[in-house]
Amino acid sequence: MTPTELSLFQIQLLEWFTQQQRPLPWRQHYEPYAVWISEIMLQQTQVATVLPYFDRWMEMLPSIQAVAETSEDTILKLWEGLGYYTRARNIQKAAIMICEKHGGQIPQDFSELLALPGIGRYTAGAIASIAFNQERPIVDGNIVRVLCRLMDWRDNPRSAEMQKKIWNAAEAWIPEGNARFFNQALMELGATLCSTQAPLCLLCPVPSFCKALKANTIDAVPAKTKRPPAKQRITALAVIQNEEGELLIAKRPAEGLMGGLWEFPNINLDKDTDIEQALKQGIRQQQDILITVDQPLSIIKHAYTSFKVTLHCFLCTYQRSESDSTREEHSAQWVPLENLKQFSFPAAHGKIIQILSQERMA
DNA sequence: AAGACGGGGAT
DNA sequence: ATCCCAGTCTT
């Protein structure tokens, strides 16, 4: 784009954003703490999904200091169902660092933002530009799509070469003094009109600048990348009841998949195994307890990004302990059904709690 | 450079 | 069923 075209493009896009932007809670005051939390929640997560989580979080933890001082279980409960739970744990780690090293205020320096856990190139730029109006570029999935279409860039946008071109454009096009609104306008355009499928070019504020529209390549740009097919996994899961009618739940390791969340004890299955037998054995090894597998409860299918799991859930009864080890040593504890809501569970296990609650009512 | 990391919305 | 989403971190 020539400087004259760029200027007109900026003006038309900003005018559109001023008129048509969605009213979002983190856009009310551009308070740095709110911008930070929203940006972390919005990583790989759509706005509509984030909204109720954001409101609950800000109500429960209205300041960075409150985040630093609360328990990790509280953090994970607020994040329950949102996914990518490392984000939640990293927010707390960062909050503690901010309180210790930055006087409780989010740093404005780009390098210091980047040094905080959970904040990478995109989020550091987003906080710098949206909260502090610094002229820092950002490139997310929306902006990749918008810029590739504007420029009719047909190569794989994930390649190192294309990434460089995209980031360069995102930086070069920022209008002086207006990074806050310009960066958001590019994303807003991608989120609301310049969508992956069925983009609404008739409503686009900048169609005359769009080379893909002119070349009729909108549907092919940006180039799509193939993902390998999801692998299948089979799991056996035990809902174990003790004499008092309490249920056994276990806390997952702090790191890794759904780290720190609670779950019903379960084991992965090989093909062609006796499910009930394997479950009994697996629970004995994991928890040092003997159980009886009484009856099937439900079969739950759940899809993750890279694999699909079928959960074969069984109602079981605790018989006796196999050793002197305590439940705490296994990061497990007995909890009445009505208290399960205090713990954070992966979505698939939340489905089980739903089923148990319904059975209890019946 | 590639894989792990969740869950839901849209088609 | 498949793709995608206001990405980051590890290997």
Selection from A240, A325, A253 nearest residue A283 by Cα: A240
pLDDT digits (tens, 9 = 90+) for A154-192: 999 999 999 999 999 999 999 999 999 999 999 999 999
For residues A9-21, give the mean pLDDT: 98
Selection from A127, A138, A134 nearest residue A31 by Cα: A127
Percentage of chain A exceeding pLDDT 90: 92
Q: Which nucleotide is nearest to A196 (CA to C1')?
A: C4
Q: Does residue A146 register a pLDDT over 90?
A: yes
Confidence (pTM): 0.97
- The bases of strand B with some atom under 7 A from any protein CB are 1, 4-11
- Give the whole-angstrom CA distance, residue A147 versus residue A212: 10
- The bases of strand C with some atom under 7 A from any protein CB are 2-9
- DSSP result, A322-347: SSS--TGGGTEEEE-GGGGGGS---H
Tell me what pLDDT residue A272 has: 80
The CA-based diameter of chain A, rounded to the nearest angstrom, is 79
**Cα dihedral A307/A313/A318/A322 (nearest 10):** -30
pLDDT digits (tens, 9 = 90+) for A184-236: 999 999 999 999 999 999 999 999 999 999 999 999 999 998 888 888 999 99
For the segment(s) A3-220, the CATH number from 1.10.340.30, 3.40.50.300, 3.40.710.10, 3.40.50.720 is 1.10.340.30
For residues A95-116, give the mean pLDDT: 98
pLDDT digits (tens, 9 = 90+) for A33-76: 999 999 999 999 999 999 999 999 999 999 999 999 999 999 99
A225 CB neighbours strand B below 7 A: no
- The integer distance in angstroms from the CA atom of A317 to the C1' atom of B9 is 39
pLDDT digits (tens, 9 = 90+) for A323-340: 888 888 889 999 999 999
Residue nearest to nucleotide B6 (CA to C1'): A83
Domain ranges of chain A: 3-220, 231-361
Residue nearest to nucleotide C10 (CA to C1'): A256
Tell me what pLDDT residue A327 has: 87
Q: Does residue A297 register a pLDDT over 80?
A: yes
Pair of tokens at residue A125: 């730029």
pLDDT digits (tens, 9 = 90+) for A336-353: 999 999 999 999 999 999
> Residue A239's pLDDT band (boundaries 50, 70, 90)?
very high
- Please provide residue A291's backbone torsions phi and psi, each rounded to the nearest 5 degrees: -135, 160
Pair of tokens at residue A70: 């609360």
Task: Write down the architecture of domain A231-361 according to CATH.
Answer: Alpha-Beta Complex (3.90)
Tell me what pLDDT residue A362 has: 75
Q: Which nucleotide is nearest to A302 (CA to C1')?
A: B7
> Residue A1's pLDDT band (boundaries 50, 70, 90)?
confident
Q: Which nucleotide is nearest to A122 (CA to C1')?
A: C7
A48 CB neighbours strand B below 7 A: yes
Residue nearest to nucleotide B8 (CA to C1'): A49
Tell me what pLDDT residue A249 has: 98
Residues of A labelled catalytic: 39
Residue nearest to nucleotide C6 (CA to C1'): A42
Q: Which nucleotide is nearest to A45 (CA to C1')?
A: C5
Tell me what pLDDT residue A226 has: 81
A85 CB neighbours strand B below 7 A: yes
